Amino acid sequence: MRTWQEIAACVVAGERLSAQDALILWQEAPLWRLAELATDRKRKISGDKVFYNRNFHLEPTNVCVFNCKFCSFRRPRGSAEAWEWSMEQMQEQVRRYVGSGVTEVHIVGGVHPEHSLDYYCSLIRNVKEILPEVSVKAYTAIELSYMIHRAGLSVKEGLHRLIDAGMDAIPGGGAEIFDEKIRENICPDKGSTKEWFEVHRAAHELGIKTNATMLYGHIENLEHRIDHLMRLRELQDATEGFNAFIPLKYRNFGNSMSEIGEVPIIDDLRTLAMSRLILDNVPHIKAYWVMYGKQTTEMALKFGADDIDGTIDDSTKIYSMAGAEDQRPKMSVEQMLQMVERAGFRAVERDTHYNEINNIK
Ligand code: V47
């Protein structure tokens, strides 16, 4: 077995990490060394740039056919806290952004029992009619798999319909943890790991870029995290379809796993750095500021992240309902620029496809 110092030297030389070496590095390398290794790797890919975008979320409903133990967002139909926005209400939400400079709408919500594929397609069409210049990053693989199978179509046929309606990219949600036993425990009735990969592979084959996430810091261990990252690396080798990876820290407020607690920030930083090192073929590692909070996000930039997501404009409830610091998450471009500068990098506005937008004042 190699020592962490030997493994670190191999990482510097550009050698790909095996699962066994990744575990040793993860467990034994000091935090400062992981920071150095991950930052070196980040610099090779994105130099001194850290990306952000101007975006908002649409969350059509928090009613969901699945009942994941970690979820603080879902409400049973008929509950006072359940919402099911009408198409008109969502059009109204989208109209607020006319002329605002947003470049991306991220649509994600509960897996509604009755919404059809046509409904999801017309939601995208309506967004594009109001904001023709934006990209629509829509629906997790779990939502997609459900709506497409319900329509009696193959995954590729369903994706074709959504692409025709204007879907530009697919977010990374629903991945949770790929290990089937852990998944069975934390989200027993949810769409499977196999379904998640089927959708992402099909999207990549159709030329649609997607993101990937990992929900960590609950009952999984480091081997499960490494296995998760290795499965993503394998698909990326085959398709090159992932734009970004987003590690999602389990937040424990208001769900049925609350007794587990949350992992310390040092674990978040090590996880980011190791994600950057294991996923040597995924260009962008995102520190999602809404989930970490602003201070941890600033630190995360020293651990291999090169993206912080966007302005959000208080449009998502998933993390505020799970106990994140920002109960009304919102960041101005100015605040983002300052955060990135304080961390010693250069903020660059991007669109969904990571094309740079040159309008920084
Ligand atoms: O799949 C739900 C996670 C995800 C909790 O692709 C929780 O750019 C922590 O995927 N604690 C949805 N996490 C959000 C998501 C996402 C977010 C930002 C950017 C992108 C992107 C994707 O949120 C779910 C689940 O893994 N989640 N509940 C919780 N209590």
User: What pLDDT is attached to residue 319?
Assistant: 87
172 lines ligand 1 (CB under 6 A): yes
**Shortest-distance Cα residue to atom 9 of ligand 1:** 250
**Shortest-distance Cα residue to atom 14 of ligand 1:** 173
- SS3 string, the chain, reads CCCHHHHHHHHHCCCCCCHHHHHHHHHHCCHHHHHHHHHHHHHHHHCCEEEEECEEEECCECCCCCCCCCCCCCCCCCCCCCCECCHHHHHHHHHCCCCCCCCEEEECCCCCCCCCHHHHHHHHHHHHHHCCCCEEEECCHHHHHHHHHHCCCCHHHHHHHHHHHCEEEECCCCCCCCCHHHHHHHCCCCCCHHHHHHHHHHHHHCCCEEEEEEEECCCCCHHHHHHHHHHHHHHHHHHCCEEEEEEEECCCCCCCCHHHCCCCHHHHHHHHHHHHHHCCCCCEEECCHHHHCHHHHHHHCCCCCCEEEECCCCCCCCCCCCCCCCCCCCCCHHHHHHHHHHCCCEEEEECCCCCEECCCC
User: What pLDDT is attached to residue 361?
Assistant: 45
- Ordered by start, the domain boundaries in the chain are 4-358
User: What pLDDT is attached to residue 325?
Assistant: 85
187 lines ligand 1 (CB under 6 A): no
320 lines ligand 1 (CB under 6 A): no
166 lines ligand 1 (CB under 6 A): no
User: What pLDDT is attached to residue 359?
Assistant: 63
Name the CATH superfamily, with its identifier, for domain 4-358.
Aldolase class I (3.20.20.70)
User: What pLDDT is attached to residue 242?
Assistant: 98
Which residues in the chain show pLDDT less than 70? 359-361
215 lines ligand 1 (CB under 6 A): yes
The atom number, within ligand 1, closest to the CA of 290 reads 18
How far is the centre of ligand 1, averaged over its atoms, from the C-alpha of 173 (Å)? Answer: 5
pLDDT single digits (tens) 246-286: 999 999 999 999 999 999 999 999 999 999 999 999 999 99
Say whether pTM exceeds 0.75. yes
